[in-house]
């Protein structure tokens, strides 16, 4: 085979595994930190802040990762990600003090930054029904968050917190070796594949308005995503652990169930985005999140879990619509860079959200005011996004 031959099914498999592992590595520390808190005797706030630079690099690293993906190779960057995540996670597991754990977590965040700019454009340019393909791919992202919590809880209970880093790291390294072999054998192209599906662009007078609205929307949705992902294990611990007699591993299992079940909504969201207006799908998910955030402000029963699941489901289901909107308005040769800009905004929110969560917990010992604020923010966002152009640029179906 020459270096432009590509097995689309094999590409989809690696893109899905990459999305799963990236979110798994970006999320499992929020469960592992509960065990380290007991083992090392440091406060939750102090240990949580060790992820500050890592979460910052998940965002800041997206822009250079997108640039390299456009200029060099999307498949090559995903291979780099697998290997880098594996090494970084293993280093986290061997950390014996806060400084080493801080360095290893920061390195982990840097390699996490690669997936979205490289992987999403990889899927967009190698799929036929793009919304459905993005939906399926996004399911694996949600499953990755859930599996991160599940495996972290299980490995902590069965072995220790170190194994919760080391074993997933080994799995990522092995996956990277397999992808490199498939690239070298010519089954997956090292050269970027281009698609004609998104060749049309909006008029110049619309582009600035669309860009501003989308950036505001991405930022607000990212705040909700980061706040809930980070605070959910702790809020369940605070409000339900005593009443339901929950252990750390059981909290991990609950968080896993929430993200795995809600992650399935990505497929439904992708199908809806292919069939209906992306804008309609997008705004429905936004208002749903806003209303439900207001419901969970002070819940301390099982409805907290139910409504949290629904919020995450709404957040997940509109991702295919969001990525389709971006693809339709982005020149193909800059697509990874545009996704890089999206995710530098999206994941750069992480450190800010982390500080807000830490400060909220320090002040009140809970997160109810944070949930209330962002409930109203999402309702305001719903009104803003309504002003997006209703007539979207249509694209053909890839052959």
- CATH (domain of 75): 1.20.1250.20
> Is 390 a member of any domain?
no
**397 phi-psi bin (left φ>0, alpha ψ -120 to 50, beta other):** beta
Average of per-residue pLDDT across 93-107: 95
pLDDT of residue 252: 82
Average of per-residue pLDDT across 294-322: 86
Answer whether 239's CB lies under 8 Å from 304's CB.
yes
> Is 391 a member of any domain?
no
Structure tokens at 396: 């053909």
> Is 135 a member of any domain?
yes
> Is 3 a member of any domain?
no
pLDDT of residue 277: 82
Contacts of 155 (CB under 8 A, 6+ apart): 161, 163, 164, 167
Answer whether 80's CB lies under 8 Å from 124's CB.
no
Q: Of 72, 96, 27, 19, which Cα lies nearest the Cα of 255?
A: 27
DSSP state of 51: G
Residues in the chain, total: 399
SS3 of 148-160: HHHHHHHHHHHCC
Contacts of 179 (CB under 8 A, 6+ apart): 14, 75, 78, 79, 82, 188
Answer whether 356's CB lies under 8 Å from 153's CB.
no
> Is 35 a member of any domain?
yes
DSSP state of 268: H
Task: List the alpha helices (DSSP H) in 126-203.
Answer: 130-158, 161-185
Answer whether 194's CB lies under 8 Å from 372's CB.
no
pLDDT of 183 higher than 60: yes
Q: How many domains does the chain divide into?
A: 1
User: The whole model's pTM is what?
Assistant: 0.73
Give backbone dihedrals phi and psi of 114, rounded to 5 degrees, phi first.
-70, -35
What is the Cα–Cα distance from 186 to 241, expressed in whole angstroms? Answer: 52
Question: To the nearest whole percent, how much of the chain has pLDDT over 70?
Answer: 92
First to last CA, the chain: 21
| Higher-scoring residue by pLDDT: 55, 15 | 15
Q: Of 267, 26, 39, 19, which Cα lies nearest the Cα of 143?
A: 19
- Lowest-pLDDT range, 26-30, 241-245, 247-251, 336-340? 241-245
- Lowest-pLDDT range, 29-33, 93-97, 209-213, 301-305? 209-213
Q: Of 13, 30, 37, which Cα lies nearest the Cα of 98?
A: 37
- Our CA dihedral for 137, 139, 142, 144, rounded to 10 degrees, sits at -70
- Lowest-pLDDT range, 153-162, 163-172, 239-248, 366-375? 239-248
Q: What is the mean pLDDT of the chain?
A: 85
- Lowest-pLDDT range, 101-105, 124-128, 212-216, 218-222? 124-128
Name the pLDDT band for 399 (thresholds 50, 70, 90).
very low
Name the pLDDT band for 395 (thresholds 50, 70, 90).
very low
Task: Note down the domain range covering 252.
Answer: 8-194+201-385
pLDDT of 334 higher than 80: no
pLDDT of residue 139: 80
């Amino acid at each position: 085979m020459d270096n432009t031959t590509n097995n689309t099914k094999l590409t989809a498999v690696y893109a899905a595994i990459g999305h799963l592992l990236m979110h798994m590595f970006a999320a499992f520390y929020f469960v592992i930190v509960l065990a380290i808190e007991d083992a090392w005797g440091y406060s939750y706030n102090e240990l949580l802040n060790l992820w500050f630079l890592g979460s910052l690099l998940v965002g800041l690293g997206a822009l250079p990762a997108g640039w390299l993906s456009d200029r060099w190779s999307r498949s090559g960057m995903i291979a780099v990600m697998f290997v880098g995540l594996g090494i970084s996670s293993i280093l986290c597991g061997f950390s014996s003090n806060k400084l080493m754990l801080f360095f290893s977590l920061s390195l982990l965040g840097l390699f996490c930054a690669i997936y979205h700019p490289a992987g999403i454009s990889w899927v967009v340019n190698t799929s036929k029904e793009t919304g459905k393909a993005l939906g399926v791919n996004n399911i694996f992202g949600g499953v990755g968050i859930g599996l991160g919590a599940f495996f972290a809880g299980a490995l902590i209970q069965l072995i220790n917190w170190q194994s919760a880093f080391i074993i997933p790291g080994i799995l990522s390294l092995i996956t990277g070796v397999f992808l490199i072999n498939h690239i070298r054998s010519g089954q997956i192209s090292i050269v970027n594949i281009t698609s004609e599906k998104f060749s049309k662009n909006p008029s110049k007078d619309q582009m600035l308005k669309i860009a501003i609205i989308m950036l505001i929307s991405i930022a607000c949705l990212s705040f909700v995503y980061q706040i809930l992902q980070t605070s959910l294990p702790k809020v369940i611990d605070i409000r339900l652990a005593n009443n339901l007699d929950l252990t750390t591993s059981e909290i991990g299992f609950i968080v896993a169930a929430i993200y795995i079940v809600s992650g399935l909504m990505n497929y439904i969201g992708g199908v809806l985005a292919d069939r209906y207006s992306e804008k309609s799908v997008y705004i429905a998910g936004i208002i749903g999140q806003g209303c439900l955030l207001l419901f969970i402000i002070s819940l301390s029963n099982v409805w907290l879990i139910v409504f949290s699941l629904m919020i995450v489901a709404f957040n997940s289901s509109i991702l295919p619509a969001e990525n389709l909107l971006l693809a339709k308005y982005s020149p193909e040769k800059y697509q990874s860079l545009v996704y890089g800009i999206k995710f530098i905004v999206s994941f750069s929110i992480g450190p800010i959200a982390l500080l807000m969560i830490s400060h909220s917990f320090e002040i009140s010992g809970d997160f109810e005011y944070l949930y209330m604020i962002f409930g109203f923010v999402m309702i305001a966002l719903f009104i803003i996004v309504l002003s997006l152009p209703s007539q979207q640029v249509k694209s053909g179906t890839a052959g």
